[in-house]
Structure 1
Amino acid sequence: MATMAVKFHYSITMALTVTTSCLINSTYFLQAQAQTDGTATYYTPPYTPSACYGYEDQGVMIAAASDAIWNNGAACGQSYAVTCTSGTNEGTPHPCWGSSTLTVKIVDHCPSGCRGTIDLSQEAFASIADPNSGVINISYQTYV
């Protein structure tokens, strides 16, 4: 019985150590990613086809990457944490909904002449800012 208790204690200790290690490492990794400033716009449905997934539906928390982050398609499938930081001189002066951050998946390439660094789906944009603003200043980083 004592051997069983020791094995159980060892198993719990190892599980907690591994979990703690993973949490610390993932937190460090997320913090190690630099935030970049840019702008965000939005586009409206339909969201298919897309440059990354064709006619496969990827939901609505999605975005199109501008040339700044497209990297010849390497951005496909990448997730980005996007935070509204302020309005631009276009549209609503205070468009941000608090300090909301959302995570979006890159599913498309923003067409030439794209006005934003990241072109969010209408639903994603509306979750962090007033859509009437049209363009917002953001900070963003790769989310792993």
Structure 2
Amino acid sequence: MALQVKKTLFLLIALLLFSLTSAQNSGIATYYTPPYMPSACYGFEDQGVMIAAASEAIWNNGAACGQLYQVNCLSGTNAGTPMPCQGRGVVVVKIVDRCPAGCRGTIDLSQEAFALIADPNSGVINISYQQ
């Protein structure tokens, strides 16, 4: 239980620091499904499921590896799921991979991270994000 409280406190502090030091950007989020390894940043080292792959806009020749991003669901991108945002609408993810060629999103969230902020049936959402 104490470990859970410490993790929650760390996450809250990290979110506060992000909001004080980072600019808000807008983009598109998609999601990918397991297996999540190997990844471009960590090979076969498991980084959990609160992870994402960076598009060229974020990748920066691999400098994005290990960076944390706060992603906020803003709205849907299609009429099929007009109100996809759900839950808290915010998730913090670690960049562990590079989005493959042809990636449609600015950030490609793990399926689990996407499901915390949006209905997976929507597939693609409008987001704001910050490091």
Q: Which TM class, normalised by the smaller chain length?
A: 0.7 to 0.9
Matches of 1:63 and 1:115, distance apart in 2: 14
Contact kept, 8 Å, 1:90 with 1:133, in 2: the verdict is no
Deviation at 1:132, TM superposition (A): 0.1
Report the aligned-residue RMSD. 1.7
Q: Secondary structure at the match of 2:100?
A: coil
2:93 aligned partner: 104
Matches of 1:86 and 1:50, distance apart in 2: 29
Moved segments of 4+, more than 4 Å? 26-29
Contact kept, 8 Å, 2:54 with 2:64, in 1: the verdict is yes
1:34-93 CA-partner distances (Å, limit 9, x unpaired) = 100000000000000000000000000000000000000000000000000000026411
Distance 1:29 1:52, change over 3 A: closer
- Over the matched positions of the two proteins, sequence identity in percent amounts to 75
Q: Which of 35, 40, 43 is residue 51 of structure 1 equivalent to?
A: 40
| Structure 2 residues not aligned, in runs of 5+ | 1-12
> Does 2:67 match 1:78?
yes
One-letter amino acid of the structure 1 residue matched with residue 81 of structure 2: T
Contact kept, 8 Å, 1:63 with 1:108, in 2: the verdict is yes
Deviation at 1:32, TM superposition (A): 3.4
Deviation at 1:98, TM superposition (A): 5.0
Deviation at 1:127, TM superposition (A): 0.3
Structure number with larger C-alpha Rg: 1
Work out the number of aligned pairs and report it: 118
- TM-score between both structures, scaled by the size of structure 1: 0.77
> Does 2:28 match 1:39?
yes
1:131 aligned partner: 120
- TM-score between both structures, scaled by the size of structure 2: 0.84
**Structure in which a larger fraction of residues adopt helix:** 1
Contact kept, 8 Å, 2:54 with 2:99, in 1: the verdict is yes
| Structure 1 residues not aligned, in runs of 5+ | 1-22
Contact kept, 8 Å, 1:90 with 1:134, in 2: the verdict is no
